[in-house]
Structure 1
Amino acid sequence: MRLPALMLVLALFAAAGPAAAQPAPDPATLGEAQRLMNRVGVEALIQQQLAAMPAHMRSMFASIDIDKDKDKDELIARYADVAAKELERRVPKYVEQVTALYARTFTFDELRELNAFYDSTLGKKLIATLPALTRESSELSRQMTSDAIRETFRVLAPELEKYGVKPK
């Protein structure tokens, strides 16, 4: 069996467009999907992502010039605070939608198998280590992206300067 957590992480962090109207899954399958969401700690994983928001904001705002009399750190903190509140408000609906997605994707029996896996010793270890794995994977992804962007700017610097862009 492949580790089903990979599918969960991909579903959690994928940028999804508006969901098309889908038929409601049957209550038993939805209940089993809810057990899975609870078992793997979907809300805790989301909270971990929310906690990382200020660092992401600093990274995003790093290349933005603002008026000298404005405090960039204050702007980042304010933005992160408002964005975190907006995201926090949306978490229950998001968890509901992800639960329904799993209930539509997997059969009742498959969800029972996934739950049985997460009840196993290996499944419990995966659940216990998933937040750290997610955090470290996110950092590796952030570093890879940052390095690629920096190198892209280096390679394109002469061309960018033609347009008046001077990367920091």
Structure 2
Amino acid sequence: MFRLPLSPLRAVRSLSFAAVFAGLCLAAPASAQEDEEKTAAIRELVEITQVEAMADQMIGLFNEDILPMLLEANPDQSEKLRTIVREEVTATMNDMKPAVVALTASVWSRHFSTQEIRELTAFYKTPLGVKLLEKQPVIARESMQAGMQMSQQAAMTAMEHIKQRLTAESLSIPAPL
């Protein structure tokens, strides 16, 4: 029997992250009562910011997260595994889009007025806005990497200080530290 070397919790967490990200990126009318003008403004903002491409990137990131574990368990099935993961993740994300879209439009509507949405759209049409859209994925990735490195360094420094304090207080230091 094939056992997935990915814990169900991690798989759900990864897919949930992708769904939440997609939800933050996609927008459509939350209900029939939503202002049509605001809905149109949200749709234009979504189009100009290329959020569907971002959702596709999230699918790619999920694929990158799960594929190495599957390949480790099935090293001679690379192409088959790539196909299965790509098809299943894409299908799942596509099935979730309508509900995520409705939820997200509601979020956009609560946080931005129609005028603010128009102003954001106008900004993204400027040369600086276009540059921001192009650079945003790189900036986010570099910021995340730097933040992780800083967090690791802070954790190591804090652990060293904790060990010093425990020693100074004549307290036992557990082996894992």
Query: Does TM, normalized by the shorter one, top 0.5?
Result: yes
User: Which structure 2 segments of 5+ residues have no match?
Assistant: 1-19, 25-29, 157-162, 164-172
Contact (CA 8 Å) 2:124, 2:133: kept in 1 or not? yes
Contact (CA 8 Å) 1:32, 1:108: kept in 2 or not? yes
Match of 1:98 among 78, 97, 104: 104
Pair 145,108 (structure 1): closer, same or farther in 2 beyond 3 Å = same
Number of the residue aligned with 1:129:
135
Match of 2:114 among 85, 89, 108: 108
Match of 1:32 among 37, 41, 49: 41
- CA distance in structure 1 between the partners assigned to 2:94 and 2:61 by the alignment: 13
Contact (CA 8 Å) 2:48, 2:124: kept in 1 or not? yes
Cα deviation for residue 53 of structure 1 reads 1.5
Q: Deviations over 1:30-89 (max 9, x none)?
A: 110111111111110110111122322257x59xxx9xxx52786975566533431232
Number of the residue aligned with 2:74:
71
User: Which structure 1 segments of 5+ residues have no match?
Assistant: 1-11, 17-21, 161-168
Q: TM-score, normalised by structure 1?
A: 0.56
Number of the residue aligned with 1:13:
21
Cα deviation for residue 141 of structure 1 reads 7.3
- CA distance in structure 1 between the partners assigned to 2:126 and 2:67 by the alignment: 40
Contact (CA 8 Å) 1:37, 1:99: kept in 2 or not? no
Number of the residue aligned with 2:51:
42
- Amino acid aligned to 2:52: E
Higher relative contact order (CA 8 A, sep 6+): 1
Cα deviation for residue 142 of structure 1 reads 9.1
- CA distance in structure 1 between the partners assigned to 2:63 and 2:174 by the alignment: 29
CA RMSD, aligned part only? 4.3
Secondary structure of 2:34's match? Answer: coil
Secondary structure of 1:47's match? Answer: helix
Q: Is 1:119 aligned to 2:121, yes or no? A: no
**How many positions carry a matched residue from both structures?**
133
Deviates more, 1:96-105 or 1:34-43: 96-105
- Amino acid aligned to 1:83: V
- CA distance in structure 1 between the partners assigned to 2:146 and 2:59 by the alignment: 16
Overall identity of the aligned pairs, in %: 23
- CA distance in structure 1 between the partners assigned to 2:174 and 2:62 by the alignment: 29
Highest CA radius of gyration, 1 or 2?
2
Pair 83,74 (structure 1): closer, same or farther in 2 beyond 3 Å = farther
